[in-house]
């Protein structure tokens, strides 16, 4: 039976029955992993440059990252509809109750949690090694440089050196050998292939099902085992309080994991089917997907003026000016001399420059200010945002943006803005004669059975919300305050379990909400009016890692850091959510992705 209270819960999609087979050599497959032996396994998890809103989300500081417990992030109610309480025990639509793991006569109780793994390397000829030691990240401390420091001595027999170590099922191990010879006492580092010096580390993925049961794990099974073996290690690598992870493999949710605590004071563990984290700016993928879907269906013209629609309804006053920061002096614009006043040149916009298209708004190209780069912060006061009698949703919140000057000419440059997404979200709803919330629900969430993805209204009872944490100046971990974010629903106002977020990414990988035309619209990098390509489509970052294109978004907000990274060509996706606001989600995602890829490389095709 599925235990929702498990400290580390893993859910697999229905598993194909695996045919019994002779254990293969997958558990000793070598994967190139460069690094000097003194620090192998460090994996140089360099984050990609933050080009146009890539994995390091430009909204971080303004959305409450690392600020104290009472960050001002106001509410958003998308109207006065009653929000239903999510089914706390409901599985996302693509996640079935898991089968028991594959069994065989050798393993009547299923795959063991750990098993004996033998490491071997041949004796050299004509002069055999005097000794051989095993080192790697499987040992504590990691990468010892001698047997005295903890390296495992190998035994020579019948022309081979070998040692056996007990390791967890699914563990991805980076390792090398050290050896000495009668004429060279060493130690000399070398890998499984016999390459010396600064050669790639060898990598082995422990498949206890193959080694003990004679039934090789499927790709999904081995990825789930790998997440279970490494999830808490990944959490602790950044000292996180709680972490939820989901992995999509071959277009299906393969694994979910909860690690650490959702509430430190109450010792409540993170449960991937229960614990609810804010999406933060990952919410922008819903806005982008909605617009792309409507445009593909002929229900929306992306180059129409979104601001004009709202201006005509009295919801938002279209901009007439833009501002440029200054420290004095004058600026000549079209023959007019403009003086610096209160730190700004205020420059008039032509009628054409006042147009804010859906396309530009969804690509952060419209020149709409963010939190702190315009003449004032367009956020509503927290006291009003937290009041359901006042806060009626994003349309209400636009009153604080309405009439403010732009910070650039639309189309001229990339400038990240959650307020631009609020504006375009309200316009998207109006274009369909409804609200953004209702349009997203009708077009995306209901068809995909993602009923647990809801606006995070502070005054609504939503069970199992994770408590957020921040670090004080002395590094002390402290609980963070909570203010409403539903007022900015299109740009960062949804909440759900990590299982729901994984199901959303699974749907994107399968093309359920987006046909090929819609995908091309959402996942093609936009260009400025000057011809410069930016790393953003419609609500999605578009970038590459190790030569492979991914789409997705990160989120940085009070109480949460989040990330969704999808490789469409492979139908591979990693999502994560943490209640620790100091988390570097780019590095966390890189590490998780590398573990998943190592596991997939070793698994049965």
Asked if residue 39 belongs to a domain, the reply is yes
Residue 406 counted as domain residue: no
Instruction: Tell me the three-class secondary structure of 108-175, residue by residue.
Output: CCCCCCEEEEEEEEECCCCCCCCEEEEEECCCCCCCCCCCCCCCEECEEECCEEEEEEEEECCCEEEE
Q: What is the mean pLDDT of the chain?
A: 85
Task: Encode 279-334 in three state secondary structure.
Answer: CHHHHHHHHHHHHHHHHHCCCCCCCCEHHHHHHHCCCCCCCCEEEEECCCCEEEEC
Whether the pLDDT of residue 63 is over 70: the answer is no
Q: Using one digit for the tens of pLDDT, what is the confidence trace for 450-467?
A: 999 999 999 999 999 999
Q: Look up residue 47 and give its two tokens.
A: 């984050």
Collapsing DSSP to helix, strand or coil, 400 comes out as helix
Average pLDDT over residues 499-527: 96
Rounded Cα distance between 414 and 51, Å, is 10
**Counting beta carbons within 10 angstroms of the beta carbon of residue 274, is it exposed (0 to 12), middle (13 to 18) or buried (19 or more)?**
buried
Higher pLDDT, 360 or 6: 360
Centroid of chain to Cα 143: 30
Q: Single out the residue of 301, 298, 251, 246 nearest to residue 277, CA to CA.
A: 246
Return d(Cα 120, Cα 25) in angstroms, integer. 12
Per-residue pLDDT reduced to its tens digit, 93-112: 334 333 334 556 778 889 99
Residue 93 domain flag = no
Whether 183 maps to a domain, the answer reads: yes
User: Is 27 a domain residue?
Assistant: yes
- To the nearest 10°, report the CA torsion of 461, 463, 464, 465: -20
Q: What is the DSSP letter of 412?
A: S
pLDDT at 30: 36
- Per residue, the 3-state secondary structure of 485-548, as one string, reads CHHHHHHHCEEECHHHHHHHHHHHHHCCCCCHHHHHHHCCCCECCCCCECCECCCCEEEEECCE
CATH code: domain of residue 156: 2.60.40.10
pTM given for the model: 0.84
Residue 110, CB-side half-sphere exposure with 13 Å CA sphere: 7
Give CA–CA dist 362/534, Å, rounded: 12
The residue-averaged pLDDT of 296-320 equals 94
Tens-place pLDDT, residues 157-205: 999 999 999 999 999 999 999 999 999 999 999 999 999 988 999 999 9
Q: Give pLDDT, residue 2.
A: 31
Q: Which long-range contacts (CB under 8 A, 24 or more apart) does 144-148 make?
A: 145/38, 145/178, 145/187, 146/178, 146/187
Residue 19: per-residue pLDDT: 30
Residues 6+ apart with CB under 8 A from 233: none
In a domain, 199, yes or no: yes
pLDDT given at position 106: 78
Domain residues for the domain of 144 are: 17-46+114-168+172-205
CA distance linking residue 208 with residue 549, whole number of Å: 33
Q: Is residue 23 a part of any domain in this protein?
A: yes
pLDDT of residue 512: 87
Model confidence pLDDT, tens digit, residues 525-541: 999 999 999 999 999 99
DSSP summary character for residue 596: H
**Tokens representing residue 494 in the block:** 């949804």
Q: What are phi and psi of 517, to 5 degrees?
A: -65, -40
Is the distance from CB of 143 to CB of 38 less than 8 angstroms? yes
Checking phi first, is residue 531 left (phi over 0); if not, alpha (psi -120 to 50) or beta? left
Across the range 316-331, mean pLDDT stands at 95
Inter-residue contact 279 to 562 (CB < 8 Å): yes
Element (H, E) at 177: strand 172-181
With respect to residue 525, please indicate whether it lies within any of the assigned structural domains: no
For the CA atoms of 279, 285, 291, 297, the dihedral, rounded to the nearest 10 degrees, stands at -120
Count how many domains the chain has.
1
């Amino acid at each position: 039976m599925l235990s929702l209270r498990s400290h580390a819960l893993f859910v697999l999609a229905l598993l194909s029955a695996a045919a019994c087979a002779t254990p293969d050599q997958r558990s000793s497959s070598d994967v190139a992993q460069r690094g000097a032996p003194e620090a192998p396994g460090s994996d140089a998890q360099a984050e990609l440059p933050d080009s146009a809103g890539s994995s390091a989300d430009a909204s971080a500081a303004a959305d409450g990252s690392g600020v104290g417990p009472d960050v001002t992030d106001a509410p958003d109610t998308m109207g006065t509809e009653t929000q239903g309480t999510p089914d706390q025990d409901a599985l996302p639509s693509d996640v079935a109750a898991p089968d028991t793991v594959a069994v065989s006569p050798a393993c009547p109780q299923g795959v063991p949690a750990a098993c004996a793994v033998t490491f071997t390397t041949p004796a050299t000829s004509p002069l055999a090694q005097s000794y051989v030691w095993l080192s790697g990240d499987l040992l504590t401390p990691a990468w010892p440089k001698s047997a005295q420091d903890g390296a495992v001595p190998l035994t020579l027999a019948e022309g081979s050196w070998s040692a056996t170590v007990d390791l967890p099922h699914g563990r991805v191990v980076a390792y090398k050998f050290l050896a000495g010879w009668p004429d060279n006492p060493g130690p000399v580092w070398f890998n499984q292939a016999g390459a010396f010096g600064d050669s790639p580390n060898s990598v082995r993925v422990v498949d206890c099902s193959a080694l003990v049961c004679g039934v090789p794990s499927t790709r999904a099974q081995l990825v789930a085992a790998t997440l279970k073996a490494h999830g808490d290690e990944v959490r602790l690598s950044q000292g996180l309080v709680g972490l939820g992870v989901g992995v999509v493999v071959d277009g299906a949710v393969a694994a979910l994991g909860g690690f650490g605590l959702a509430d430190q004071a109450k010792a409540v563990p993170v449960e991937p089917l229960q614990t609810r984290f804010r999406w933060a700016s990952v919410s922008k993928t819903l806005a982008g997907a909605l617009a792309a879907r409507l445009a593909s269906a002929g229900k929306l013209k992306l180059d129409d003026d979104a601001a004009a629609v709202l201006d005509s309804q009295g919801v938002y006053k279209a901009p007439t000016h833009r501002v440029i920061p200054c420290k004095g002096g004058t600026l000549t614009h079209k023959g007019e001399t403009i003086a610096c006043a209160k730190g700004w040149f205020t420059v008039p916009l032509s009628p054409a420059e006042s147009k804010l298209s859906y396309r530009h708004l969804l690509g952060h190209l419209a020149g709409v200010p963010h939190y702190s780069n315009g003449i004032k912060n367009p956020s509503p006061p927290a006291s009003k945002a937290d009041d359901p009698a006042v806060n009626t949703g994003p349309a209400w919140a636009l009153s604080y943006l309405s009439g403010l000057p732009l910070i650039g000419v639309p189309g001229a440059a990339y400038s990240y803005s959650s307020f631009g997404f609020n504006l375009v979200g309200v316009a998207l709803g109006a274009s369909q004669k409804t609200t953004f919330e209702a349009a997203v629900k009708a077009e995306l969430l209901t068809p995909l059975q993602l009923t647990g993805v809801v606006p995070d209204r502070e005054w609504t009872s939503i069970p199992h919300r994770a408590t957020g944490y921040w670090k004080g100046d002395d590094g002390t971990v402290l609980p963070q305050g909570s203010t409403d974010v539903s007022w900015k629903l299109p740009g960062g106002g949804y909440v759900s379990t990590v299982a729901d977020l994984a199901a959303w990414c699974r749907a994107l990988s399968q093309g359920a909400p987006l046909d090929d035309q819609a995908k091309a619209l959402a996942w093609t990098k936009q260009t400025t009016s000057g011809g410069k390509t930016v790393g953003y489509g419609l609500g999605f970052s578009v970038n590459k890692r190790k030569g492979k294109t991914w789409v997705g978004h990160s989120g940085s907000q009070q109480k949460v850091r989040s990330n969704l990274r999808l490789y469409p060509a492979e139908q591979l996706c990693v999502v994560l959510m943490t209640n620790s606001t100091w988390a570097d989600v780019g590095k966390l995602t890189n590490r998780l992705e590398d573990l998943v890829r190592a596991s997939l490389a070793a698994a049965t095709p």
